[in-house]
Amino acid sequence: MDEHDHSPTSAPRARLFFVLIFTTTFMVIEFVAGILSNSLALLADAGHMLNDVFSLSLALVAIKIGTFARSSKMTYGYRRVEVLSGLLNGVSLLAIAGYIIYEAVDRFFSASVEIDGPLMMSVAFIGLLVNIVGMYMLNEHKDSGVNMEGAFHHLMADLLGSVAALIAGLGIIIFKNNIFDIVASILVSLLVFKSGFSVTKKSILVLLEASPLEADKLVESIMEIEGVINVCDYHSWRVTKGVELFTAHLILEKDIDFHDVVNKATQLASTYGYTHTTFQPEFETCAENEEHLVC
One domain for residues 173 and 219:
no
Q: Identify the weakest region by mean pLDDT among 14-23, 59-68, 280-289.
A: 280-289
Residue 102 has pLDDT above 90, yes or no: no
> What share of the chain in percent tops pLDDT 90?
25
Higher pLDDT, 114 or 224: 224
CATH of the domain at 89: 1.20.1510.10
pLDDT for res 281: 93
pLDDT for res 279: 96
Average pLDDT, the chain: 82
* Residue at which a domain ends, from 169, 191, 207: 207
One domain for residues 288 and 263:
yes
pLDDT for res 5: 46
Higher pLDDT, 288 or 37: 37
One domain for residues 139 and 159:
yes
One domain for residues 95 and 235:
no
* Residue at which a domain ends, from 207, 234, 251: 207
Higher pLDDT, 100 or 228: 228
Mean pLDDT of the 188-197 span: 81
Higher pLDDT, 183 or 291: 183
Mean pLDDT of the 74-81 span: 79
Higher pLDDT, 36 or 138: 36
Higher pLDDT, 116 or 284: 116
pLDDT for res 273: 92
d(CA 85, CA 199): 10
d(CA 129, CA 61): 26
Mean pLDDT of the 12-19 span: 78
Per-residue pLDDT band for 287 (boundaries 50, 70, 90) equals very low
Mean pLDDT of the 207-217 span: 91
pTM over 0.75: no
Higher pLDDT, 254 or 58: 254
> What share of the chain in percent tops pLDDT 70?
89
Domain count for the chain: 2
Residue 95 has pLDDT above 90, yes or no: no
pLDDT for res 278: 95
* Residue at which a domain ends, from 146, 175, 207: 207
Residue 2 forms part of a structural domain: no
One domain for residues 259 and 281:
yes
Mean pLDDT of the 246-264 span: 93
d(CA 273, CA 70): 23
Residue 133 has pLDDT above 60, yes or no: yes
Mean pLDDT of the 154-168 span: 82
Residue 30 forms part of a structural domain: yes
Which residue range(s) make up the domain with 243?
A: 215-294
One domain for residues 186 and 239:
no
pLDDT for res 68: 78
pLDDT tens digits, 16-56 = 888 888 889 988 998 899 888 888 778 877 877 777 787 77
